[in-house]
Amino acid sequence: MWSKRPILYVCLLTSTALGLAMAGQLAGQSSSTATEAPSGYDNQPNGLTDLASFNMDRGQFEQTEFIGDGLGPIFNAQSCRECHQNPVTGSTSQVKELRAGHQDAFGNFVGATATLADGTVTIPNRSLINQRAICPAVDTITVNGQPQTFNFPQTQGQERISSAETIRAFRMSLNTLGDGFVESIADQTLLNLASAQCSNTGGLICGETVRVPVLEANGALAVGRFGWKNQHASLLSFSSDAYLNEMGVSNRLPPNNVDVTRICDVIPDPNNATTDSEGLQDIDRFARFMRATKVPPRDTALANSSDGLAGASLFHTVGCDICHVSSITTAPTGTPVNAGAFIVPDSLGNKIIHPYSDFLLHNIGTGDGIVQNGGQETAQRMRTPPLWGVRTRTELLHDGRSSTFFDTIQRHRGAAQPVTNNFNSLSTTQQNQLITFLRSL
């Protein structure tokens, strides 16, 4: 139906994108008083903290975890930086994680049953399959400042899945720079954006919001915006989840205060329970570091080139910015977010950001079948990836299976099919101009 009415649909897309350009103002922020969020790959804070505190938090984000610190027993990385460092700490990387599961008799997604220790230990309903383990190994480790023998030479710790887990998907590590501004977007702004998007496209493109638990607010719900499935609304919740599930370090926030398995585990839960001189634990510093980062900068030379400027106009004309929204304004200073667990500070409040994302879930034909904090209807939906910093990526989309912008655009199907059709109707010169614009982000 859409392909038979390309001119009408282009008009619809253009008017829709114009309407959504003011999406950041839908929650009541004043564009006249809002200021641009600072940007840069310069390892400098955005004003939330001073440089000394920022460097201390960044050091914790970069710190390598060892068995004596609570690493494992199963894990994917030994530091946050391993998965978030290109070109600077907190950015993106080429590191993937593996998720798996199957559908039950009713077609619902069920997380995989992972086995360890040659099948004698099982972990049910776990979609994340860790790819590293601390055993089998013999080593001398340090626990509370004392040397201790770690001796598990005959215990196989790696997770395995069976052929019954027919849903298997890779997930690329995400950029975290500028996420403090994303966290400071009012829930209502995202809800309004979803409503306007659906209304302005006549129901053709309808991004979905999901309300997810905020761990530090006793599980109270807020609109998700972090992770490929929008499984977190809060950077502290995100930090707690990643510390346990990516590094195997249990921490104070439930359900992350107990290791997934005790096999080869010699460190009591929660592994990270002590506070430092500021009264902070590791997850607090991880979250504060991300909140204090600047947003990814543009390649200004490319952005201001004739092709870059033409490409920006075409990006709007074909309808890419219906989902890849160019500008959003954060909530005013003093606004409670994360179910009241975080108050937007002046450094993050009433700031204009250019994420090129609506932070909504869409089905564009690339869904991986995995369900996390959303309902079963989210199985084939993925969060619109923010395009800021995309010029630093070599593996694109959630699975990293696309290596060029052209191929990435061609994989946009489902609700995005009309936009892909509009792109394909451009001349080769125009397509290259649009891609030049993407290369400037």
Using one digit for the tens of pLDDT, what is the confidence trace for 236-274? 999 999 999 999 999 999 999 999 999 999 999 999 999
CA 151, distance to chain mean position in Å, is 37
Q: Among 40-54, 135-149, 298-312, which stretch is predicted with the lowest mean pLDDT?
A: 135-149
Percentage of the chain beyond pLDDT 90 is 91
Q: Are strands 336-337 and 361-362 parallel, antiparallel or unpaired?
A: unpaired
pLDDT value at position 20?
A: 54
pLDDT value at position 83?
A: 96
| Whole-angstrom distance, CA of residue 202 vs CA of residue 208 | 15
How confident is the prediction for the chain on average, in pLDDT? 93
pLDDT at 307 over 50: yes
pLDDT at 356 over 80: yes
| Whole-angstrom distance, CA of residue 29 vs CA of residue 210 | 23
pLDDT in tens, 377-391: 999 999 999 999 999
| Whole-angstrom distance, CA of residue 208 vs CA of residue 198 | 10
| C-alpha distances in Å from residue 42, one per residue of 38, 55, 94, 188 | 11, 12, 21, 32
Amino acid (1-letter code) at residue 109? F
pLDDT in tens, 405-424: 999 999 999 999 999 999 99
Q: Are strands 336-337 and 342-343 parallel, antiparallel or unpaired?
A: antiparallel
pLDDT in tens, 318-334: 999 999 999 999 999 99
Give the Cβ contact number of residue 140 at 10 Å. 11
pLDDT value at position 40?
A: 98
Angle, CA of 349, 49 and 241, to the nearest 5°: 80
pLDDT confidence band for 13 (50 / 70 / 90):
low
| C-alpha distances in Å from residue 186, one per residue of 23, 217, 329 | 12, 17, 9
CA 299, distance to chain mean position in Å, is 22
What is the 8-class DSSP label of residue 332?
P
pLDDT value at position 145?
A: 87
Q: Are strands 167-172 and 96-103 parallel, antiparallel or unpaired?
A: antiparallel
pLDDT value at position 2?
A: 38
pLDDT in tens, 88-139: 999 999 999 999 999 999 999 999 999 999 889 999 999 999 999 999 999 9
Spans of all domains in the chain: 2-439
Q: Which residues, 6+ apart, have CB-to-CB distance to 193 below 8 Å?
A: 20, 23, 26, 207, 325, 328, 358, 360
| C-alpha distances in Å from residue 100, one per residue of 48, 224, 232, 258, 368 | 38, 22, 19, 22, 9
| Whole-angstrom distance, CA of residue 181 vs CA of residue 183 | 5
pLDDT value at position 255?
A: 94
pLDDT value at position 1?
A: 32
Q: What is the DSSP string of 394-438?
A: SSBTTT--B-SHHHHHHT--GGGHHHHHHHHHS-HHHHHHHHHHH
pLDDT at 5 over 90: no
pLDDT at 287 over 80: yes
| Whole-angstrom distance, CA of residue 31 vs CA of residue 44 | 26
pLDDT value at position 144?
A: 84
Reply yes or no: is the peptide bond before residue 332 cis, omega within 30 of 0.
no
pLDDT at 35 over 60: yes
Helix locations, 271-378, DSSP H: 282-292, 300-303, 306-317
Q: The pTM is what?
A: 0.93
pLDDT in tens, 39-85: 999 999 999 999 999 999 999 999 999 999 999 999 999 999 999 99
pLDDT confidence band for 168 (50 / 70 / 90):
very high
Exposure string of 316-350, with b = 16+ CB inside 10 Å and e = fewer, is bbbbbbbbbbbbbbbbbeebebbbebbebeebbbb
| Whole-angstrom distance, CA of residue 56 vs CA of residue 54 | 5
